[in-house]
Structure 1
Amino acid sequence: MGGVVSSRRAHAAGLSGGATATGAGAGAGAGAGGPLAALEPLTSEPPPPANLDNPGNLDEIHKKCKEVMPVNFEGCKLMINRGINNNFQISQTITMSSMSPSGYKIGATYVGSKQISPTEVFPVILGDVDPDGNLNLNFIHQLTPSWKCRAVGQLQAMRLAAAQISAEHQGSIHTATLTMSSQEWKEGSGVVLAQYLQSVTKPLALGAEIAYQRSPKIPGGEIAVVSAAARYNTDDTEIAAKVGLAGLQLTYYKQASEQLQIGAEVETSFRGQESVGTIGYQIQIPRAELVFRGMVDSNWNVGAVLEKRFTPLPFSFALSGMANQSKQQYRFGVGFIVG
């Protein structure tokens, strides 16, 4: 329901014995003035530049701009959260809408005790189920300091409808991800996605993506798409781009002040011969515990979401509105979170 989320979030971001012997041999040769002294620079791998950091996942290069944009919803939503203990939480959601699926869902969140950073704790298990037996399940775990795995499953009428699994390797200056997913098991359809993002300089990161899809609905039965990506960020500005055979996505983010953030996005589909531009902003007033997000795009859509928390009461309120004057479409929503 857009910005209305649970008050408790779990964020998940996320070999050399022979080298020692070789280095020792090289050092002995150098001390004796032997020929191994000339080979020492070739046998020792230089450490990564001290000013470069891990750039994160390629899927998140547009994250800052996306977070500025409002996520509108329609109808009414009520969410009640209850913490059982420090690791376990239960939520109940009631949705009434004419545009999106309505009904009742009960969900659970489990957060482990393996803390990687102040905002990252693993493993994380998220799930929800409705009275019809439709189940969504997410599992995220940081196996080692360098390896993270994710698994997503969806059951409909007690049958596996979709599944996805990914493995992510986080190096000192790069992140590599391999994802495999399938939605139509009987037809033998599936997608394999390989992504790589590396820091080149302090503000610049470059990456590439290869997507392979197999499906009987695709002409020829299969297709592969290659894309290139780049991100340039400073303390208060971020520019990111991703371009490939399918299209172009370009985003711009600016932290104008402590209260104001601005974002702009252009999405172009080469196959559909269509482009959409969006401008959004976020105003945050910490003392009032209020967040307002607004946007307007080139399709004449205008939307906004207002979020307000009433401290010390365990209660949050959200109001959403979206309008398109050219199509005479108007959608409004209201949401409540208790807990």
Structure 2
Amino acid sequence: MGNVLAAAPAVPPPFPMTGMPVVPGTVPATPGPGTGKDPADHNPGSFDELHRKCKEVFPVQMEGVRLLINKGLSNHFQVSHTVNLSTMGVSNYHFGATYVGVKQISPTECFPVCISDIDNSGSMNGQVIHQVTDGVRAKAAFQTQKSRFVTWQVDTEYRAPSYTAAIALGNPDVLLGSAVLVTHYLQALSPTLALGGELVYHRRPGEEGAMSTIVARYAVNNWVATMNIGASGVHASYHHKASDQIQVGVELEANARLQETLCTLGYQVDLPRTNMVFRGSVDSNWTVSSVLEKKLPPLPLTLALAAAINHRKHKFQCGFGLTIG
């Protein structure tokens, strides 16, 4: 909530020369608060990752045919080619590149990180992330559509032993006097409870306003509950890890301005012996979705089958995906 651009994916480690390299946007989220008794062991994490565990359980919709090819050129550089063929929308091609630097701060994080993606129409997304100091992380992101700048954003995040504070500035224009300013603060009161808030201030010619949101998260070993409450509505989620194979997530989104509410129940089943992952969901709009992913070792291939049906609108869509590398 409040970000001009979508939240950046977790920072990947250097790409291995063998095996499957990390794909931007699919790497695991950074760990949440710790469970140790030491107060310095429960930083609440990033504000943008509060609902990520729950969202990762839900299947990602896919329509038509998608071919994704990943190629690791070195330990720190990777490129990808994506072809989407659709019968309902517009078919497109995307070229992506990711560079991961040599500054390693943990087994799963290295800096700086440069991520970019461009499609056949000239639209481009780019991000640069760097760990300036042990506690300060900076990010710059921009987005273009058909070779024209649409939005750009810079933000800085500071992580202390028991709290996280961040500030972001989006689309600043000195001549027009317009900008979007977003501030986050998340405080860990205990290893399980974190409270915080978000303030969004926007200004443009003839218009000015601010919106605040408060957030609470309670996390234990196998489940986490999060709630955002503000003038725009309510966003709540619950994620439960029943076992090493089964995860369940419930999400509620109530938009006060549009007078709309959506509740979604999702689950994920991991079958490590068969190298399969199944995700399914059903929401209050009577939309049922599912995705089945199957890895084919020792080949670097992953097959994906997706289907979704909306019983209220009588619409059905399905997709097939193949990932190489």
Bin of the TM-score, shorter chain as denominator length: 0.7 to 0.9
- SS of corresponding position for 2:273: helix
In structure 2, distance between residues paired with 1:118 and 1:306 = 29
Structure 1 residue ranges without an equivalent (≥5):
1-5, 15-47
How far 1:186 moved relative to its partner? 9.1
In structure 2, distance between residues paired with 1:280 and 1:185 = 45
Question: In the comparison of the two structures, how many residue pairs are matched?
Answer: 298
- Who is 2:278 aligned against? 292
Q: Is the 8 A contact 2:39 2:162 kept in 1?
A: no
Q: Does 1:273 align with 2:259?
A: yes
How far 1:325 moved relative to its partner? 1.1
**Which has the larger helix fraction?**
1
Q: Does 1:78 align with 2:67?
A: yes
**Which has the larger strand fraction?**
2
In structure 1, distance between residues paired with 2:305 and 2:176 = 42
In structure 1, distance between residues paired with 2:175 and 2:287 = 39
TM-score by length of 2: 0.86
Structure 2 residue ranges without an equivalent (≥5):
1-19, 32-36
- Who is 1:261 aligned against? 247
- Who is 1:8 aligned against? 22
The alignment yields a C-alpha RMSD, in angstroms, of 2.2
CA offset digits 1:51-81 (Å, max 9, x no partner): 6511001121111111111111211111111
CA offset digits 1:182-213 (Å, max 9, x no partner): 29999765321100001001210000100112
In structure 2, distance between residues paired with 1:338 and 1:230 = 40
* Identical columns (%): 42
Q: Residues 162-241 of structure 1: matches in 2 within 5 Å?
A: 162-182=151-171, 189-215=178-204, 221-241=207-227
- Residue from 319, 328, 339 that aligns with 2:314: 328
How far 1:157 moved relative to its partner? 3.4
Letter in 1 for 2:222: D
TM-score by length of 1: 0.82
Q: Residues 104-143 of structure 1: matches in 2 within 5 Å?
A: 104-143=93-132
Letter in 2 for 1:244: G
Task: Name which one, 1 or 2, has greater alpha-carbon Rg.
Answer: 1
Q: Is the 8 A contact 1:254 1:263 kept in 2?
A: yes
Change (3 A) 1:13 1:187: farther
Q: Does 1:306 align with 2:320?
A: no
CA offset digits 1:273-294 (Å, max 9, x no partner): 2211111000011121111110
